[in-house]
């Protein structure tokens, strides 16, 4: 009798339990995937047309989000079958494990090392200290707003969680317009570098605050929060750098750069980034930080150990999958925003949150720029117009949306839903409205335009903007060593000498000068954040 019950249970599939047959489920899956492909094609074509006609009021990211919103809205009012709609549900796991890794890796892989490392101190200041300031200021303002009945009242830790998730910036539109109109490469490096490291910082802060919320708050807990955050960030960075260096040594000594092994060479290269991401996630660290630094290290060291054909293939491959992933993220997000249930009963929370975020972004940018300018010489100061451009480039995107969706599960029902609705409104507002006015605003600030176009390539020379000066190696051997030791403590530019004299010869089969040439891609190929699909106009 027990055997018969087991047999009957095996025969009833989940599809049958819902009153649908497996064939019907497969058909629904086919229709769902077909709609996704059609929206991707439409997004790429529309983006190309917009760029070709230099129509900056609807950037590619905004167009993709708008397509998702329109199709999602039509599906919602037309009572589309539930089993088709499930294919468009925004799953945080799918986003973090499949869509995000190629995007973040390509961000690190396409990084121009000279402007990035010349401004590394400023980038880290904006991304780590600045994000912390932004998160705390937002959290405190939201909490105070609740106390005086301006906004929906949330517990203090939940306000800090909201501050952390909404501090993840996504300046896709700004970076795309920088490339189109031309700008100073240092400003591009600051906006780009901050946005990538800022994502990792926001996730680490959110997870840390979530951990605090699940335990009793105390002074000891606050100390453990700091220790846990540093442990996560440094551990993730070490894991990423370690995997990158391991791949460099493998490709240097394995002898794979011959014609009949190029397929194996490319396969191994493609697997290493995912290995880095999953290793960090498996160890309870941040996969984003890990894969970002793996991308930077693999481009600088491993890439030069590949054969020429493999170099061309991996560059095109990662560009391709990151472009697809980025475009799909915005469509996916737009569709889900239109389909999700939202809590619009707390409009005041949304309105004041937008104001609080602008104030927090200003506190982040101007305080960090002030600190950076204190330690920089006069010719390397960050100009006020660049600071204003940094403030304006703090758009919110897919990372904030994914963390907000996660907060629906992490927080009590009403609280999580309110935070999710507010984040959704902020993402749509910044991507569609602010994103559309970005070109006009940046031209008004005089940080883009024909007059500055040359600086994208010229700034590599270190003679304009505020890029760090290169070394004078004509000094005697003893003086050169002393100079290097002194500059190592004073400027990140000394990393170039360490890299050229020790790291490059050890991890690659070429000398430092040759690799420096390889590592200077054309600025138009530099990419940032979630904006890869904006590259297909030419």
Q: What is the pLDDT of residue 85?
A: 62
Q: State the Cα–Cα distance between residues 116 and 110, nearest whole angstrom.
A: 11
Q: What is the pLDDT of residue 88?
A: 67
Averaged over 504-526, what is the pLDDT?
A: 55
Percent of the chain residues past pLDDT 70, beyond the cut? 75
DSSP state, 215?
S
Q: What is the pLDDT of residue 525?
A: 38
Distances in Å between the Cα of 236 and the Cα atoms of 63, 161, 203, 294, 502 are 34, 21, 12, 10, 24
Q: What is the pLDDT of residue 275?
A: 93
- Give the highest mean pLDDT range of 135-139, 167-171, 457-461, 481-485: 135-139
Confidence class for position 475, pLDDT limits 50, 70, 90? very low
Contact, 440 vs 54, CB < 8 A? no
Model pLDDT for residues 261-291, shown as the tens digit of each residue:
778 888 889 999 999 999 998 988 888 889 9
Q: What is the pLDDT of residue 365?
A: 92
Model pLDDT for residues 53-96, shown as the tens digit of each residue:
877 777 788 888 888 888 888 877 776 656 566 666 667 778 88
Q: What is the pLDDT of residue 511?
A: 54
Handedness of CA 59, 65, 70, 71 (dihedral sign): positive
Rg of the chain, C-alpha, whole Å:
24
Q: What is the pLDDT of residue 191?
A: 85
Averaged over 335-347, what is the pLDDT?
A: 75
For 195-199, 279-283, 295-299, which range has the lowest pLDDT when averaged over its residues?
A: 195-199
Averaged over 409-414, what is the pLDDT?
A: 77
* Paired tokens of 491: 């400027």
Kind and range of the H or E run holding 287:
helix 287-297
Residue 277: name the closest of 323, 245, 324, 243 by CA.
243
Contact, 177 vs 401, CB < 8 A? no
Kind and range of the H or E run holding 351:
helix 347-375
Is pLDDT of 521 > 70? no
Does residue 78 sit in helix, strand or coil?
A: coil
Q: State the Cα–Cα distance between residues 138 and 162, nearest whole angstrom.
A: 8
Does residue 28 sit in helix, strand or coil?
A: helix
Mean pLDDT of the chain: 76
Q: What is the pLDDT of residue 195?
A: 82
Q: What is the pLDDT of residue 2?
A: 45
Confidence class for position 209, pLDDT limits 50, 70, 90? confident
Averaged over 460-483, what is the pLDDT?
A: 43
Averaged over 21-25, what is the pLDDT?
A: 72
Contacts of residue 499, Cβ cutoff 8 Å, sequence gap at least 6: 300, 512
Q: State the Cα–Cα distance between residues 146 and 480, nearest whole angstrom.
A: 59
Look at 155 and 525; give whichever has higher pLDDT.
155
* Paired tokens of 215: 């335990």
Q: What is the pLDDT of residue 433?
A: 80
DSSP state, 433?
I
Q: What is the pLDDT of residue 155?
A: 85
CB atoms within 10 A of CB 339: 19
* Paired tokens of 315: 């560059």
Q: What is the pTM of this model?
A: 0.75
Residue 207: name the closest of 126, 289, 269, 291 by CA.
289
Averaged over 134-154, what is the pLDDT?
A: 87
């Amino acid at each position: 009798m027990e055997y018969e019950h087991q047999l009957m249970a095996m025969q009833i599939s989940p599809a049958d339990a819902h009153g649908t047959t497996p064939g019907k489920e497969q058909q629904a899956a086919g229709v769902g995937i077909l709609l996704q492909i059609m929206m991707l094609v439409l997004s790429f074509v529309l983006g190309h047309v917009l760029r070709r006609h230099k129509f900056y009021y609807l950037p590619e990211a905004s167009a993709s989000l708008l397509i998702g919103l329109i199709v999602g809205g039509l599906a919602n009012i037309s009572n589309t079958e539930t089993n088709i709609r499930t294919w468009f549900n925004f799953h945080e796991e799918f986003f973090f494990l499949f869509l995000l890794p190629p995007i973040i890796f390509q961000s690190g892989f396409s990084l121009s090392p000279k402007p990035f490392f010349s401004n590394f101190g400023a980038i880290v200041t904006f991304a780590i200290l600045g994000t912390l300031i932004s998160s705390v200021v937002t959290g405190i303002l939201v909490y105070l707003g609740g106390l005086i009945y301006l906004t929906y009242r949330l517990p203090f830790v939940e306000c800090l969680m909201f501050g952390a998730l909404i501090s993840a910036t996504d300046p896709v539109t700004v970076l795309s317009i920088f490339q189109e109109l031309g700008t100073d490469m240092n400003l591009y490096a600051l906006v780009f570098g901050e946005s990538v490291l800022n994502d990792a910082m926001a996730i680490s802060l959110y997870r840390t605050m979530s951990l605090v919320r699940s335990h009793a708050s105390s002074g000891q807990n606050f100390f453990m929060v700091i220790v846990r955050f540093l442990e996560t960030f440094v551990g993730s960075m070490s894991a990423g750098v370690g995997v990158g260096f391991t791949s460099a040594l493998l490709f240097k000594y394995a002898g794979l750069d011959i014609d009949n092994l190029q397929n194996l060479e490319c396969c191994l290269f493609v697997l290493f980034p995912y290995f880095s991401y999953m290793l960090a996630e498996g160890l309870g660290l941040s996969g984003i930080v890990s894969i970002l630094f793996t991308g930077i290290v693999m481009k600088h060291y491993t890439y030069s150990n590949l054969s020429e054909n493999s170099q061309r293939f991996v560059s095109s491959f990662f560009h391709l999958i990151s472009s697809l992933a980025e475009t799909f993220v915005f469509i996916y997000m737009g569709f889900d925003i239109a389909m999700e249930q939202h809590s619009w009963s707390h409009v005041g929370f949304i309105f004041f949150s937008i104001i609080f975020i602008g104030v927090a972004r200003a506190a982040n940018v101007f305080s960090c720029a002030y600190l950076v300018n204190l330690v920089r010489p006069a010719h390397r100061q960050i100009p006020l117009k660049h600071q204003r451009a940094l403030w304006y480039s703090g758009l919110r995107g897919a990372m904030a949306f994914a963390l907000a969706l996660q907060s629906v599960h992490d927080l009590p029902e009403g609280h999580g839903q309110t935070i999710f609705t507010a984040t959704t409104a902020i993402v749509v507002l910044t991507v569609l409205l602010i994103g559309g006015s970005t070109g006009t605003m940046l031209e008004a600030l005089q940080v883009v335009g024909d007059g500055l176009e040359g600086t994208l390539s010229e700034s590599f020379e270190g003679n304009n903007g505020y890029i760090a000066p290169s070394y004078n190696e004509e000094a005697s051997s003893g003086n050169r060593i002393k100079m290097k030791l002194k500059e190592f403590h004073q400027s990140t530019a000394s990393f170039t000498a360490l890299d050229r004299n020790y790291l490059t010869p050890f991890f690659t089969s070429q000398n430092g000068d040759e690799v420096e040439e390889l590592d200077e891609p054309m600025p138009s190929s530099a990419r940032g954040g979630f904006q890869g699909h904006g590259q297909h106009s030419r």
